Chain A
Amino acid sequence: MALFAISYDDQDVLREFTEKQSIPYPLLSDVDSAVIRAYGILNDQVKPGDLILYGIPYPGTFVTDADGVVTSKSFHGSYKIRDSPEALLDAALGRAQLEGARVAEAQGDAEVRVKVALRGGKGTIRQGIVRHAIARFELADGFHLYGEPVPEGMIPTQVQVSGPPGLVVHDPVLPPTAPLRLASMGVELQVWSGSFDIEIPFHAVGELVSECRPLDRDAVPIEVHVRYQACNDETCLLPKTETFRFDVPLDVVDIPKLGMHRGHGQREGNFDATPHLKRLLKRKFKESPLGFLRHAVLAARLNVAAKLRSRRDRASS
């Protein structure tokens, strides 16, 4: 698999970012946002001549097959909601890789084995980065589980994630079902068989992990509830409900090493971004002196706020 990352940054910062943050793939420099524009993903809420931000994209990701044809893409409503590298790898490979993920396995039986993995970020939760709870079912030959909808009295397969306030759980990602016609009941059911995954994406927002506040706890409990009933053509086993519990460490946000971000208790980057910001400001000043001035006012306010935070932290320590 080949990975490319594109931004409007110049080569100098990309070089330092690559070295100091040990980035193993090429960072490409689209300083005039030509490719961002050609792809139709220029952030058009930032107006030309406004601030230093003009030229940034709506962030997102494309995954292609070996012919360069898009097989999946991911654009979220907020720039703070981002995919983990593990999710991109899984999308490219077509199935979640559970090696290295935190896995909890139910006792199970000969007909159905279930395990649940937390995929992404080595089992930690960070602000906005999407993690996946992956329930992997492995069924003996001839057995199946039901997708929704099911007739009255039957049990559809359900996977639910519950956690503390500030954990946002997305809709489940379901694999395709196969139709199963039950002549005796005159219905067609949707079933899964063999080995398949049901994935529940989730992410943390400010109430749980915030980029403007140090962590207030080290870890939180997350539970994954799985309910199913396995049947074959002759019989159905008893319905089962399993709960998988994880104690999940929280992780702070990585921020660039810049004055305006300081005092929020986050993890700074490995290099000083100030000279790069100055160069970016110079570039943007040439494009739009008036827009630059508007930015400078806000930047000054953010810098003052950061200084006050630092002073307060020093005073309290």
Chain B
Amino acid sequence: MNKKQKTKMIVLLFISVAVLLIVALVSYALRQNISLYFTPMQIFKHEAPLNRPIRIGGMVVKGSINQSKNHLDVRFVLTDYQHQIKVRYQGVLPDLFREGQGVVVKGFLSAQNQFEAQEVLAKHDENYMPKEVRDSIKKVVKHA
């Protein structure tokens, strides 16, 4: 092997190690930080795991918001117009959170019908409907 080939080999080796490291880092970080999305119907059918970080989306049932008087505890019910799920959250709710509108909550299921939200996302388009929620409601309507 002459000198030129040797440098080429070293460079190639260096690049492949770097690529492997980055791939490993990225795949590890991806595995740790993705959360699956479920609809109330899927939760009713026991498709969602308990005590694992997930997201669920639905409409906030009218009259279901129950704000504790002494803490920042809030309870409300989400629905896809067929099944319902109770949600508990501690913290300040976003401005766009309202009865009768779609939200996505991030957290985990502590029991089959009880969701502990760590984050309430009321991101949506100008028609007040998060994309996931719109899709899942469409699915339910088709189902029925």
The judgment on whether A and B are partners is: no
Where the two chains meet, the residues of B that have a C-beta atom closer than 8 Å to any C-beta of A are: none
